[in-house]
Amino acid sequence: MTRTMRRPLARRELRRSASCGAPGLAPLFAPSCRELRLGASFACSIALALTLGLAGDARAQSPFDATGTPTVPQTALPQGPGAKGKAPPGPETGAASGGDRPSQLPTESAQLPEDPTKIPTKLAETLGSDFDPDGVPYGRTSEVSREFYGLYYSETSGDYRARGLFPPIWAEREQKVAGGVDHAGIYGLNYYRRRSPKEDADVVFPFFWKLRSDTTHTTVVGPAMHREGPEGHDNWLAPLVFEGARKDGGYLHIPPLLTFHDRGPEGGFSMVGPMFCKWKGGAFCDGRTATELTMGVAPAYFYGRDTEGEWEIVPPLLRYHSYSERGAREVDVWGPVYREKDREGESLNVLPFFYRRTSVGATRTTLVPFFHYATEGAARTLATPLFFDRVADDGAHTFATYLYARHRGRTELDMVTPLFWQYRDPDVGLERTLALPFFYRGTSPRMDELAVFPLFGRFERRGLSTNTWVTPLFRHETSITGWQADLYPFFYSGRENDNRHLVVAPILWDFSSPTTRKTVVFPLYWRFADTEGTSQVAGNTFYSEKPVEGGTSWQFHFFPLFSFGGTPRGHYWNVLYGLAGFEREGTMAKLRVGYVPIQLSKDER
């Protein structure tokens, strides 16, 4: 039976490698991991068979193949005219079948499955698992022959054969694979041997490992390892020396000497004690070939360079230098001296006292805490601890001291001591005068404001509104939409368009609009009216009315003595809510005597 197996995904390969040893060593010893799994699985199969207690010579036909999958009788494929019979069971070797007859092209178009994205059941069982196709025996058929002779066990199925002696001091497995025979065996408890077209192994666990995978050979003797293959070689003496070479690079690690070297065709990293170099571009740490380079001697010196610039740090000298192609920016630091240069200008600073910046048409100089002087075009600025003086590009002049300030430009400002301020804007006719903390006056064509704090204030927006305060308690406001008068915190009255309010706290509350009115004279009188009706409470009386079809429905209650009301079709009255009463609704009449209703007539509608 020919079986085609797909390799698991890369993440399962990594998991299989990690289960046999450290991930970093798995690529070198992957063949040995696979050999150990095959040997262990074979030994376990012998132990399981003997444990079942089977004895004697037994032969059976198994309905399952080596993977546990139910077998199906093989149906021979249609043969061409030149075929001489059915192909024998088992893997087919040699030339492809049908080579002795003309190729036959299909006469029908290929049929796609109903769901092309559906994963087959058998494949879905292996995806995401640790299934190892290399551990599946080859050459097995549905027929399995087993023999037991005491501690001896043998199993044969097609081109597959396994035998051993329990306990597993001797076990062998032989199977046909592409290119020849795969033979593997365990001898004693620590020797494993395998010979196959692609894999060879000689393992004396745990001291000696000699492995071959295709043309790659690996030998491990205690802490020493040598691997040789088409892609390169590796030589290890753990944990002292690790060396390897590839066609396009290599590595050399000597941990006791703090030496680490790893390089490839496009970069690498080298470190010897405090010296290090990391680069990209080229196979060596060479400034002539590397496009990016970082090197140094820690902690005394560090240097870096890439396609956009370079930098240099010398910590013992408080030295820093950098250059960037972007903007041609260059920075130099020597202790407290900081110098920066770019296309826009140049800076020279001596931290933390002196700062100077020059650029095209502008200079700035600062000597803390004595002065700051700057020029830019026609503008100039001078600031000292005693005064500030600035002339702007448009000729505006500002001068300020602690007790006097003056500005002349499009607007004007005068300050005498921090208490008196006067501001003018001739373009809009605005003038404001402030004498802290009592007087404020502002005038313009659009407003007129006056405040004498805290007794009087009047703020007018000409033609729109006027707001007047007399002490912080009385306020009167008029506007084009209404008026308002307040005497805090008791009296509030006013109108806003068609809405009115009157409050004399905490007794009277009255709010009205074109459709509603709410009045409360606490706690005796409550009245609420809107388009849906009116409800009123006055002492122990209640009155309500609402519009209904044909007129108004109303009722009045004098708690708890009597109540009466009416609708467009009738009326009612009650004494003590049913001790005596009468009700008429159309032609219906009802009498109440002693809370017992007596029907006098029925409604004929």
Is the model's pLDDT at 407 over the cut of 90?
A: yes
| pLDDT the model gives residue 97 | 43
| pLDDT the model gives residue 135 | 65
With a threshold of 0.95, does the pTM exceed it?
no
pLDDT band at 109 (very low <50, low <70, confident <90, very high): low
Name the residue among 187, 238, 226, 195 with its Cα closest to residue 213.
195
Q: What is the token pair recorded at 286?
A: 């060479």
* Averaged confidence pLDDT in the chain: 82
What's the DSSP call for residue 118?
A: P
Cis peptide before 239 (omega within 30 of 0): yes
Q: What is the token pair recorded at 401?
A: 């001291």
The pLDDT tens digits of the residues spanning 175-199 come to 988 889 999 999 988 899 999 999 9
Range scoring the smallest mean pLDDT among 103-107, 420-424, 551-555 = 103-107
90 close to 159: Cβ distance less than 8 angstroms:
yes
| pLDDT the model gives residue 412 | 95
Is the model's pLDDT at 26 over the cut of 80?
A: no
Q: What is the largest CA-CA distance in the chain?
A: 126
| pLDDT the model gives residue 201 | 96
Domain extents for the chain? 14-62+135-229, 540-605
526 close to 540: Cβ distance less than 8 angstroms:
no
Mean of the pLDDT values across residues 286-311?
Answer: 93
State which amino acid sits at residue 177.
V
Q: What is the token pair recorded at 14?
A: 């990594």
Q: What is the Cα–Cα distance from 516 to 519, expressed in whole angstroms?
A: 10
Name the residue with higher pLDDT: 84 or 371.
371
| pLDDT the model gives residue 283 | 80
Length of the chain: 605
The Cβ-side half-sphere exposure at 428, using a 13 Å CA radius, reads: 13
Compute CA distances 542 → 553, 558, 560, whole Å. 14, 7, 11
